[in-house]
Amino acid sequence: MSVPDEAARIALGALPGDVRVLVWDGIGEIPVHGHEIEFFAGRFNTRPSRETLESLPRLRVVQLVSAGVEPWLSVVPKGVVLCNGRGVHGGSTAELAVGGMIAMLRGIVPFAMAQRAHRWEQRFTEGLDGQRVVVIGAGDIGTRIATAVRVFGADVTLVARRSRPGVCDVAELRHLLPGQDVVALAVPHTDDTHHLVDAKFLAALRDDALLVNVSRGGVVDTEALVAEVLDRRIRAFLDVTDPEPLPVGHPLWDAPNVLITPHVGTIRGWEERAYRLVREQLLRLRDGEELVNQVGERY
């Protein structure tokens, strides 16, 4: 197998004697024994070319340690199984989404500003209790968000590409959006989801609705969002933006009713969880067991 760096090798711990580990991120010359690689562990933002992966005759699996796989879809050769890091970042990203909702609904930022000015500005705010929340994306992150906000009394609707018990089809959004207080995005950025949240989507939201994006910036049409928040019609909590990083002087920085965090869904300790998954997947492959987190053709 191939891992991206020496730290990854250490994190994997002791492996069976018939497993050889090569430290190689797929960039540059193929190392000695590289043509024996069957299992390639890669990171989200550092990836080999398709030609490099196609030159590995025994390659069977590409395992990522990120939930997102978008940059890899075009480089993984046909017949090679692509698996993502579902479960590695889900809890921390969902936690941030819920934290952002609470910060916006409870007015934490205005209270913090009042504190800095030494002003005691007591007032009632909203909370999650009784809020109508639609979560778009019913994977690991989306289901965790839904579970968490239900604990606080929110009325939650899960939406995904296909309907199933407890999950609505994305086509139903046009009927759902006008009645929602909060919309949370937990979907990958693909051709299907690019600018899913466009001007028409935003216009369907009720006044003062809250948009929460912990997925990818490209899921939202930034120009359309800027128009809505500058008009103070809706609110937004954004952990991701398009472009990213958000340039100095971009209107979102100073937009009213917007809270921005710099793509920090991942927390300390993620490497341990990531390489525990890699190890488990490698042993499944070795033992002829089915791999988890396999990415389908349409994600």
Distance CA 106, CA 125 (A): 5
The phi, psi pair for 43, rounded to 5°, reads -100, 165
Closest CA to 291 of 80, 91, 49, 42: 80
Do residues 200 and 221 touch, judged by C-beta distance below 8 A?
Answer: no
Annotated active-site residue 263? The verdict is yes
Do 264 and 239 touch, CB atoms closer than 8 A? yes
Phi/psi at 159 (5° precision) = -130, 140
Helix (H, G, I), strand (E, B) or coil at 90: helix
Q: Which two tokens stand for residue 117?
A: 């000015």
Of 54, 95, 244, 280, which residue is the catalytic one? Answer: 244
Buried b / exposed e along 92-108 (16+ C-beta atoms within 10 A): bbbbbbbebbbbbbebe
- Catalytically annotated residue among 86, 89, 216, 273: 216
Catalytic residue among 9, 60, 194, 263: 263
Is 174 tagged catalytic? no
Q: Return the residue matching tokens 């920085």.
A: 253
DSSP secondary structure code for residue 164 in this structure: B
Distance CA 99, CA 27 (A): 38
54 labelled catalytic: no
Owner of token pair 């409870």: 106
As annotated, the active-site residues are 216, 244, 263
